[in-house]
Amino acid sequence: MTSPGPRSTKRELLAGALLAQLLVAGCSGGRGANPKAAQTPPASGPRVVLPSGAVFALEVANTPELTAQGLMFRESLAPSSGMVFLFDAPRPQAFWMKNCHFALDMVFTLKDGSVVDVLENVPPCAADPCPSYPARAPADTVVELTAGEAKKHGVVPGARLSFVSVPER
């Protein structure tokens, strides 16, 4: 946005002030927000239902670029959210935590939601080379959640997740 010039009308100045207030409110980190609203399960879009019945919104990594980027460079995940990685067929999967700034739970599943492995509280990479964290069984779907969520919601090998509005799941 440019600064109003000497010929700016009162309407333009008010519109600029309103825009500035909206931008500040949008970047304020949720001050004054209703904490229960953040816990409301998503009603649409890709999501997963965990064994406890909790619903998590999912970002879908279904291209090589999105898969490579994953959650790198983020400071955190929003409450009740995660990322799902989609692969064409079950195969050995191994993930690393390069440029990730917070610990994660990695849930390895099959397309039908059957959990084949769970790696809990996987730490961020401290130094190169970063270690890889392999699943104990082939998987075609991997869900990443903030560390502690898998245990809290009963996600264990043999459990089943329900994918909703996740492509091909």
Query: What's the structural domain count of the chain?
Result: 2
- Could you tell me if residue 136 is inside a domain? yes
- Could you tell me if residue 2 is inside a domain? no
Domain shared by 25 and 90, yes or no = no
Reported as a single tens digit per residue, the pLDDT across 101-130 is: 999 999 999 999 999 999 999 999 999 999
Reported as a single tens digit per residue, the pLDDT across 43-79 is: 789 999 999 999 999 999 989 999 999 999 999 999 9
Domain shared by 93 and 22, yes or no = no
Domain shared by 46 and 29, yes or no = no
Residue-number span of the structural domain to which 18 is assigned:
8-37
Task: Read off the pTM.
Answer: 0.75
Domain shared by 30 and 69, yes or no = no
CA angle 165, 167, 169 (to 5 degrees): 85
Phi first, then psi: what are they for 114, rounded to 5°? -65, 125
Tell me how far apart the alpha carbons of residues 114 and 51 are, in angstroms, rounded to a whole number.
11
Tally Cβ neighbours within 10 Å of residue 83.
Answer: 23
Kindly state the tokens that stand for 129.
């080379």
